[in-house]
Amino acid sequence: MGLVSEQIEVLAGLVSGGGVVVLSGAGLSTESGIPDYRGASGAARRHSPMTYQVFVGDPLARRRYWARSYLGWRTVAGAVPNAGHRAVARLQDAGLVDGVVTQNVDGLHTAAGSGGVVELHGRLDEVVCLGCGVGMSRWELHQRLAEANPGFEARVSGVNPDGDVDLADWAVAGFRTVDCARCDAGTLKPDVVFFGESVPPARVARCFAMVESARLLLVLGSSLTVLSGRRFVVRAASLGIPVAIVNQGATRGDAYATVTVDAPLGRVLPVLADRFGAVRDGAGQLGAVPVGADGVGGPVVVG
């Protein structure tokens, strides 16, 4: 027997009006095997995330980062979209979701079929040279690192959302990093925003514009602990735009929310997407058709 949630009913009613902008966080990707920082799956992390200042200023820290990331990248690269990612794409196909802003660096929204995704913190599958500014594929760098470190293996005790792993310092002593192959000297960095680094202003402005034009801001899988994401919730609330939050556990945005749903996203979002079907009219345009005679849909059952 499933559990009928009054909160999910309120959420469904809000989403049914369309004009939804999604703000997603690491909690949406945990069911794809990528742990988050602050939830239960991220609780075992034994070292702090790399900061931009340390990465740029300390060659030994960069070596530790690339050794750990070299092993952790396999997990991130092998991850596939889960039911939550696919449900967001379905809601977008149905014309209900206008855009997606994600704090994640795993690329899973795009892989699930969502379009026009703004990756606030960049993508882990891309690399940039801090010297010449040229970008490259992470797979290209991975191959170069493999050639520079034949047979490098170590026991991995945990993988983190940024592709970093927990690895003993002695295990990375012999790891060799590589510089940019284009300018022969530039420091290579994953094209993601590290802690202590600023998100490009133009990207932030684009996200604010999306939020300000929304009818509903739907937060998925983010504790909103970091201001980088929470500022969009604050802006929406200040403009009178409803905020809905689906997350396992409390968030720092709950006080701004019209409704909060504390439940697994992989269960809630597919049920929500099932409420609306994507159809094409005579002009071939996609539209949303509520499932149910009441024009909003029958009771939402999660179970």
| Phi, psi of 278, deg, nearest 5 | -90, 120
Q: Is 160 annotated as a binding residue?
A: no
213 a known binding residue? no
Q: What kind and span of H or E run contains 103? A: none
- Annotation marks residue 121 as catalytic: yes
Tokens 């040229």 locate to 134
72 is in an annotated binding site: no
183 is in an annotated binding site: yes
The annotation status of 247 as a binding-site residue, yes or no, is yes
Query: Is 157 within any annotated ligand binding site?
Result: no
Catalytic residue among 85, 109, 121, 142: 121
Cα separation, 192 vs 107, whole angstroms: 12
Q: Is 207 annotated as a binding residue?
A: no
Was 82 annotated as part of a binding site? no
Element (H, E) at 227: helix 227-238
CB 84 within 8 A of CB 28: yes
> What are residue 276's DSSP bridge partners?
290
58 known ligand binder? no
| Residue 239 phi, psi dihedral angles, 5° rounding | -95, 0
The encoded tokens of residue 248 equal 């396992």
Residue 235 is given by DSSP the state H
What is the Cα Rg of the chain in Å?
A: 21
Strands 259-261, 276-280: pairing kind: unpaired
Residue 106 is assigned to a ligand binding site = yes
> Is residue 137 annotated as involved in ligand binding?
no
Binding residues for Zn(2+): 129, 132, 180, 183
Q: Which residues are documented as binding site for NAD(+)?
A: 103-106, 221-223, 247-249, 265
Q: What are the residue numbers of the active site?
A: 121
Binding positions are: 103-106, 129, 132, 180, 183, 221-223, 247-249, 265
